[in-house]
Structure 1
Amino acid sequence: MSRNTENTTPALTPDEKLTLQTAAHGVVSLMAAADPGPISSTRSGMAGGKALSSATGLVGRVLAEKAKGLDLGGGSTADLADRVFAALADSVTLLKAKAPDEVANFRDTIATITDAASRAHKGGPGPAETAMVQKIGAALEAA
């Protein structure tokens, strides 16, 4: 007998969904910003976006929804990072409280995004991308 997981997952508010979306879409943007050349940032962004779309479970369903109110704007990579790092920590805290079984899935999704984005270049990730991956990981662990 198949189990309908749609009925067993916790309901998230629009604001909670936006937090998860901000974190994941923001990671894609941060990875693109870490390698700012026009071609390389496009490659990173496309690879990260494809990885984002492969998410499964509750996290995947939330990320597949249209992100209403998503605002990653800012005057600099530092502004973007402040917003995204906070959303990463808030997402983990939120999932620990509402869907503890999804915490590992969320972390794996973010790791898949960073891995895909950093592998989008010949020769592997540069120092700025490597540093960004470490900062993203630290933000996830802070929660």
Structure 2
Amino acid sequence: MSINLTAQDKTTVQTAAYGAIDLLAAASIGSGPGKIAADGYLALFSTTGPIGHVLAEKRRAAKPEGKSVAAYAEQVLPALTGAVRLLKAQDPTQAAEFRAILRTAIDAATAGRVTAPLESMIGKINAALDAGE
């Protein structure tokens, strides 16, 4: 089964994926936010399949707004849950693939850099991904 996403669906998927990496970078006290973002984005860019095509398209998603991690989280965490739900409605295997892609990107972004704030944020991101199931 393939997926047929609207422009709004693609924006949700992109906001969720790139936003999760932005959220990790914002929570990375003393862990090199630029390196976290770069490594996370590279992992997203290397994705294949239908989700890879969506993530490779010109990014429609706006960066999270606000000046705090809390403001970012209020936008990104619901987008993560929403992306899983919309993908699951079309093809449950693509929803599972999206979750795996995000977890791989999180691992790439935080490898060797996990601090207590990052660990907490990773837990929140995973909970948002799981809530979509």
Query: Are the counterparts in 2 of residues 57 and 102 from structure 1 also a CA contact under 8 Å?
Result: no
Note the alpha carbon deviations across 1:85-106, whole angstroms, 9 max, x for none.
Answer: 0000001110110122201110
| Pairwise CA distance, 1:10 | 2.5
**Structure 1 residue aligned with 2:6:** 13
1:29 to 15, 19, 22: 22
1:73 maps onto 2:65 in alignment? yes
- What runs of 5+ residues in structure 1 fail to find an aligned partner? 1-7
Query: Are the counterparts in 2 of residues 23 and 91 from structure 1 also a CA contact under 8 Å?
Result: yes
Question: Is the partner of 2:47 in helix, strand or coil?
Answer: coil
Distance in 1, Cα, partners of 2:128 & 2:104: 16
| Pairwise CA distance, 1:62 | 0.3
Question: Is the partner of 1:107 in helix, strand or coil?
Answer: helix
Distance in 1, Cα, partners of 2:3 & 2:39: 30
Distance in 1, Cα, partners of 2:121 & 2:131: 15
1:114 maps onto 2:70 in alignment? no
Query: How is 1:1-143 mapped onto 2 (pairs within 5 angstroms)?
Result: 9-37=2-30, 40-119=32-111, 121=112, 124-143=113-132
Distance in 1, Cα, partners of 2:61 & 2:84: 20
| Pairwise CA distance, 1:36 | 3.6
Query: Are the counterparts in 2 of residues 27 and 113 from structure 1 also a CA contact under 8 Å?
Result: no
In the alignment, residue 34 of structure 2 is paired with which amino acid? T
Aligned residues between the structures? 132
Note the alpha carbon deviations across 1:106-131, whole angstroms, 9 max, x for none.
Answer: 00111011111111x4xx41111111
Question: Is the partner of 1:111 in helix, strand or coil?
Answer: helix
Distance in 1, Cα, partners of 2:59 & 2:85: 20
User: Please, what TM-score do these two structures have when normalized by structure 1?
Assistant: 0.86
Please report the RMSD computed on the Cα atoms of aligned residues, expressed in angstroms.
Answer: 1.5
Distance in 1, Cα, partners of 2:116 & 2:92: 34
Distance in 2, Cα, partners of 1:99 & 1:83: 24
Which contiguous aligned blocks of 4+ residues in structure 1 show a shift greater than 4 angstroms? none
Deviates more, 1:63-72 or 1:15-24: 63-72
Distance in 1, Cα, partners of 2:123 & 2:63: 23
| Pairwise CA distance, 1:79 | 1.0
- What runs of 5+ residues in structure 2 fail to find an aligned partner? none
| Pairwise CA distance, 1:9 | 2.4
